[in-house]
Amino acid sequence: MEMDRRRLLQLGASSIACMAVGDVCSHRSRAEGVSGETTAWLDAKLLTGDSKAGPAVIDRGTLVVRGSKIIAVGRTGEVAIPEGTKTIDAGGKWIMPGLVCTHSHIGGGAAADGSAPIQPGVRILDSINVRDSGFKRALAGGLTTLNIMPGSGHLVSGQTLYCKLRYAGKGPTTIDDILIRDEQGKSLGGLKMANGTNSQGDSPFPGTRGKSAFLVREQYIKAREYHAKVVAAKEDLEKRPPRDLHLESLVEAMQGSRIVHHHTHRHDDIITVLRLAQEFNLRVVLHHVSEGWKVADEIAAAKVPCSIIVLDSPGGKLEARDMALKNGRVLSKAGVTVAFHTDDWITDSRLFARSAALAVRAGMDRDQAVSALTLAGAEMLGLESRIGSLSPGKDADFAILSGDPLSVYSRVLQTWVEGEKAFDLSEPSDALFAEGGQGAGSDLDPFLCCYAQAWQVGGAK
Amino acid sequence: MNIFKLSRWLGVGAPTWCFALMLGLDGSTTYAADVIAIRGKQIHTVSGKTIENGVVVCVDGKIATIGDAGSVAIPEGAVVRDAEVVLPGLIDVRTCVGLSGILNVDHDSDHLESSSPLQPELRAIDAYNPREELVEYLRSFGVTTVHTGHAPGELISGQTLIAKTTGNSVEAAVVVDGRAICATLAESSQKSGKQSPGTRGKQMAMLRTLVLEAIEHRSKLAKSPSKEDGKNTGDENDQGGKAADAAVVVRNLKLEAIVDVLEGKKALLITADRAQDIASALRLADEFKISIWLDSAAEAHAMLPQIAAAKVPVLLHPSMARASGEKENITFRNAALLKKHNIPFAIQGGYEPYVPKARVVLFEAAIAAAHELSKEAAIEAITLSPAKILGIQDKVGSIEVGKDADLALYDGDPLEYTSHCVGVVVNGKLFPGESRD
């Protein structure tokens, strides 16, 4: 773990150096401390996802991967290929960073129950079915990282889960196999909050927007007082208040170590989130943000990023009536960092890139739209030092496509997660999830194979 | 530069920019001129050859001339528009738009009446709101005709109609009233507890019983002394002085609707996704020799020979319909597979209970085109093919002289994500394309 941190620091230094010398960034490398087999994809069209560190597009590019990390990116012919590297002619296919979905519901999980509107201590981690076929469909869309969220029916519906789609080979056995951990080994996730109509209901749920905001403030104030007691007690266990999982989670949110992912649609609800975020020093990401285009300047001034949804028509509820394809364009032009999300199953992860394409249709800048599928999402999860762009030192998470990801005719051919191929369209078992068909909705095969193992064990007795 | 050339340079006809830009009663921008000329770098007639650098001239709401730009004279005073690609106005073969509104609240939701599982007598014409925002929204992407009506969700939920996506009243919009009756073979139309239908077996038993009652009703009507258009009028004064006896049949709107199905005046649209439900629908059609349309049909891929043998058209689910519940085995390839097996099909926008509240057939066809269906076939699946299935191919569905002047204009490949619909013509009237602001 310590090694990882050092590598991240090195990465930071290298990025700064690149910005200073400009064009050098078109072929960057960082291989120190990385071990494993080395593979290079030559003559690919690379979408780097990061136009700050170097060019957003490299027409004839080379991507070099060692073990689970990217070690070099640049123009073919300019990137040094280490001896013993396995080379693959990409033949002009497109390679982009693994897509990051900042808001997904894959895995059938839920956190808070109907007993109370604020349940920050409940984790979705404890409820996800890792064998859900939705994970394979997400890989078929080029996704490699998800933020799996509880729903929007609560003011605080619980802790979200950041996960990597480590479905190469036999795939994960338990949820632990797909977690993203920090240096201390703690699994990472955010906190899901919501306002507007979804989180209103019969008592004890709030009936109005005013009551919604009041209940949230009340709990954050309580958490602040709780934390003050914990700090005052220092090492004295006698003085320490009994542990409260709910309040601990809110304390993490106020300290910025747990990012708040806030469902919100209407312009006034958006402003309410900004107000609460300021009052309690929350690091917040606005989600859906249907009417973001009406208050883009206010969002930009608050320096709060937006993870937006792109839908084929407005409506379905009053709050989404003014949803518009232009949202991404207006927000990004106002200076707001924009990412897209699938809200899967609201939209299909296999078609995640389509969200960016429709935003471009409505005038969003192309490079920003690609970044909104990758690096911007990584930033919103606080994982930008590890994922989100084709950058040396980052995880080797990438998708290989037949063409431009913003074209309807392009297909994701392969998806790689941490240097391992987790999806391959040419494999019939993977194509089933990419295209659909009989059996595509069932749990993944490993579930059956476990049954078979249990059967054999039983038979041996 | 004379005034006519100037007007062409501006891309509009002289009458438009000089005199007569005005707002239509339905809030849309319309033009006084009744002659519109559309110049397209590529005009997909669909029924015939695609014309490169062509012109379509529309007069009094009909297509008057089609040809090469060099050979067709644009009439003096015509409103002129240019487009990269021109398609026939798109047809959504199965939607609930106009009955199921954008807000999704009681106030604008008239697509499903749950008081009884069998209500074929519910007419769409009494529920369709031509001013629904989503109708205009669909039109802005090129949809000019919708086959809309009652939603899936009851064993028989009601009827459908065919309408143009313009018009201030339903009467002005409607093309065909009462085109089909909607049935659903799915868990969504089953009830819990002691209500019926509670099982698939009971669903079929109730449908068969209803059809048998309608057959009986029809034979009574045939013997009845008082008939009008095959139906007893039910008017007591209409007994023509004959003795009021048992032969006079009391009117029954429910059975009359099913009689229309028996006589081929209305189709029975059966929503079925699972292969076993598709099989049940085909069995019903075979038993009573009635004309059915398979609606949605997520597992069509598993029933291709059976559907082809039954010669039943498929109103195919939206390509992007969610792969869950009874659609868990859906495939993006369904459209291509139906095409390969020569099964008549069209791609629908469908019914959506939440978000997106309406789907755009243009987008759905595009996804099919990305999954082995040819571009030409994808365009046909939202133009001429639905027109043929719906029986309105003499009016709409292709760019042919004499057909309604319904056109959709694009600035590039219409199926591509990043192209735009730049204008729509419905009944010879020009409407704006998709909003960019």
**Domain at B61, CATH number:** 2.30.40
Whether residues A311 and B105 touch (CB distance < 8 A) is answered with: no
Using CA coordinates, name the residue in chain B closest to A330.
Answer: B437
pLDDT at A28: 82
Whether residues B134 and A315 touch (CB distance < 8 A) is answered with: yes
B414/chain A closest Cα distance in angstroms: 11
DSSP string, A343-358: TTTTS-GGGHHHHHHH
Domain for residue B269, yes or no? Answer: yes
Q: What is the DSSP letter of B102?
A: T
Residues of B in contact with A313 (CB under 8 A): 134, 137-138, 355-360
Q: Is the peptide bond before B356 cis (omega within 30 degrees of 0)?
A: yes
pLDDT at A10: 39
B436 touches chain A (CB under 8 A): yes
Residue B152: how many other CB atoms lie within 10 Å: 26
End-to-end CA distance of chain B: 33
Q: How far apart are CA B292 and CA A420, in angstroms?
A: 50
pLDDT at B231: 52
Q: Which amino acid makes up residue B422?
A: V
Q: How far apart are CA B317 and CA B314, in angstroms?
A: 9
Using CA coordinates, name the residue in chain A closest to B328.
Answer: A441
- Count CA atoms closer than 13 A to A257's CA, side-chain side: 10
Domain for residue B230, yes or no? Answer: no
* Structural domain count, chain B: 2
Whether residues B355 and A406 touch (CB distance < 8 A) is answered with: no
Whether residues A311 and B355 touch (CB distance < 8 A) is answered with: yes
> How many residues comprise chain A?
461
Domain for residue B207, yes or no? Answer: no
Per the listing, tokens 């990004």 go with A332
B106 touches chain A (CB under 8 A): no
Domain for residue B213, yes or no? Answer: no
Arithmetic mean of pLDDT over chain B: 90
B328 touches chain A (CB under 8 A): yes
Q: Determine the distance from the C-alpha atom of residue A282 to the mean position of all C-alpha atoms in its chain, rounded to a whole number.
A: 19
B96 touches chain A (CB under 8 A): no
Average pLDDT over residues B6-33: 42
B419 touches chain A (CB under 8 A): yes
Per the listing, tokens 């369709």 go with B128
Q: What is the DSSP letter of B431?
A: E
Q: Which amino acid makes up residue A6?
A: R
Report, in this order, helix, strand and coil percent for chain A, each rounded to 5: 35, 20, 45
pLDDT in tens, B213-262: 999 999 999 988 764 554 555 554 544 444 445 567 899 999 999 999 99
Whether residues A316 and B357 touch (CB distance < 8 A) is answered with: yes
Do B313 and B167 lie in a common domain? yes
* Angle at alpha carbon of residue A415, lines to A412 and A416, rounded to 5°: 160
3-state secondary structure of A241: coil
Residue to mutate among B417, B421, B436, with most A CBs inside 10 A, is B417
Residues of B in contact with A444 (CB under 8 A): none
Do B182 and B262 lie in a common domain? yes
Do B104 and B70 lie in a common domain? no
Domain for residue B29, yes or no? Answer: yes
Residues of B in contact with A435 (CB under 8 A): 331-333, 371
Do B100 and B9 lie in a common domain? no
Report the residue from A318, A407, A436 with minimal CB separation from B416.
A407
Q: Which amino acid makes up residue B77?
A: G
Residues of A in contact with B103 (CB under 8 A): 315, 317-318, 321
Report the residue from A316, A326, A354 with minimal CB separation from B354.
A316
Whether residues B331 and A345 touch (CB distance < 8 A) is answered with: no
Residue B14: how many other CB atoms lie within 10 Å: 21
Residue among A203, A197, A212, A192 nearest A272 (CA):
A212
CATH number for the domain spanning B266: value is: 3.20.20.140
Do B79 and B115 lie in a common domain? no
Enumerate chain A positions whose Cβ falls within 8 A of a Cβ in B: 137, 311-318, 320-321, 324, 326, 345-346, 348, 351, 354, 357-358, 360-363, 406-411, 435-442
Q: How far apart are CA A39 and CA A63, in angstroms?
A: 8
B360 touches chain A (CB under 8 A): yes
Cα radius of gyration rounded to whole Å, chain A: 22
Domain for residue B8, yes or no? Answer: yes
- Count CA atoms closer than 13 A to A45's CA, side-chain side: 10
Element (H, E) at A331: helix A327-333
- Count CA atoms closer than 13 A to B30's CA, side-chain side: 17
Report, in this order, helix, strand and coil percent for chain B, each rounded to 5: 30, 25, 45
Report the residue from A318, A346, A357 with minimal CB separation from B103.
A318
pLDDT at B235: 52
Task: Indicate the pairing of strand A260-264 with strand A284-288.
Answer: parallel
Do B66 and B121 lie in a common domain? no
Report the residue from B328, B354, B417 with minimal CB separation from A361.
B417
Q: How far apart are CA A301 and CA A331, in angstroms?
A: 12
The pTM (predicted TM-score) of the whole model is 0.91
Domain for residue B415, yes or no? Answer: no
Residues of B in contact with A439 (CB under 8 A): 329
Q: Which amino acid makes up residue A185?
A: G
Which tokens sit at A344?
């899967």
Report the residue from B302, B369, B371 with minimal CB separation from A435.
B371
B362/chain A closest Cα distance in angstroms: 11
pLDDT at B245: 52
Do B268 and B343 lie in a common domain? yes
Q: What is the DSSP letter of A266?
A: S
Residue A295: how many other CB atoms lie within 10 Å: 20
pLDDT in tens, B101-111: 999 999 999 99
Q: How far apart are CA B17 and CA B7, in angstroms?
A: 8
Which tokens sit at B71?
């050979």
Report the residue from B102, B105, B302 with minimal CB separation from A438.
B302
Is residue A153 a contact partner of residue A199, using CB atoms and an 8 Å limit?
Answer: yes
Per the listing, tokens 């006079």 go with B248
Using CA coordinates, name the residue in chain B closest to A410.
Answer: B370
B78 touches chain A (CB under 8 A): no
Report the residue from B358, B367, B420 with minimal CB separation from A408.
B367
Whether residues B420 and A346 touch (CB distance < 8 A) is answered with: no
pLDDT at A368: 96
Q: How far apart are CA B133 and CA B51, in angstroms?
A: 34
Residue among B181, B113, B180 nearest B153 (CA):
B113
For A421, list phi and psi in degrees, rounded to 5. Answer: -75, 115
Residues of A in contact with B329 (CB under 8 A): 436-441
Report the residue from A324, A435, A441 with minimal CB separation from B328.
A441
Whether residues B329 and A314 touch (CB distance < 8 A) is answered with: no
Q: Which residues contact B308 (CB under 8 A, 6 or more apart)?
A: B341, B342, B343
Q: Which amino acid makes up residue B239?
A: Q
B330 touches chain A (CB under 8 A): yes
Report the residue from A312, A361, A438 with minimal CB separation from B356.
A312
Using CA coordinates, name the residue in chain A closest to B135.
Answer: A313
Do B350 and B366 lie in a common domain? yes
Residues of B in contact with A363 (CB under 8 A): 436
Per the listing, tokens 């690149």 go with A18
B304 touches chain A (CB under 8 A): no
pLDDT in tens, A366-387: 999 999 999 999 999 999 999 9
Do B35 and B181 lie in a common domain? no
Where chain A has pLDDT below 50, the residues are 1-25, 446-461
Element (H, E) at B53: strand B50-59
Tell me what percent of the residues of chain B surpass a pLDDT of 90: 86
Q: Which amino acid makes up residue B40?
A: G
Per the listing, tokens 């194509």 go with A431
B276/chain A closest Cα distance in angstroms: 13
Task: Indicate the pairing of strand A69-75 with strand A28-29.
Answer: antiparallel
Q: How many helices (H) and strands (E) does chain B have?
A: 12, 17
Do B48 and B73 lie in a common domain? yes
Determine whether A75 is exposed, middle or buried from the number of CB atoms within 10 Å of its CB (0-12, 13-18, 19+): middle
pLDDT in tens, B34-82: 899 999 999 999 999 999 999 999 999 999 999 999 999 999 999 999 9
Domain for residue B268, yes or no? Answer: yes
Residues of A in contact with B435 (CB under 8 A): 324, 326
Domain housing B17:
3-89+427-431
Do B27 and B148 lie in a common domain? no
Cα radius of gyration rounded to whole Å, chain B: 23
B174/chain A closest Cα distance in angstroms: 23
Residue B106: how many other CB atoms lie within 10 Å: 8
Check the CA dihedral A385-A389-A394-A400 and report its sign: positive
pLDDT at A31: 78
Residue B196: how many other CB atoms lie within 10 Å: 14
Using CA coordinates, name the residue in chain A closest to B327.
Answer: A441
Structural domains of chain A ordered from first start: 99-389 (3.20.20.140)
B328/chain A closest Cα distance in angstroms: 5
Is residue A377 a contact partner of residue A383, using CB atoms and an 8 Å limit?
Answer: no
Do B155 and B296 lie in a common domain? yes
Whether residues B367 and A439 touch (CB distance < 8 A) is answered with: no
Whether residues A441 and B417 touch (CB distance < 8 A) is answered with: no
Tell me which residues of chain B, numbers 133 to 192, contact chain A at a CB-CB cutoff of 8 Å.
133-134, 137-138
Residue among B324, B332, B326 nearest B301 (CA):
B332
The ipTM estimated for the assembled molecules is 0.90
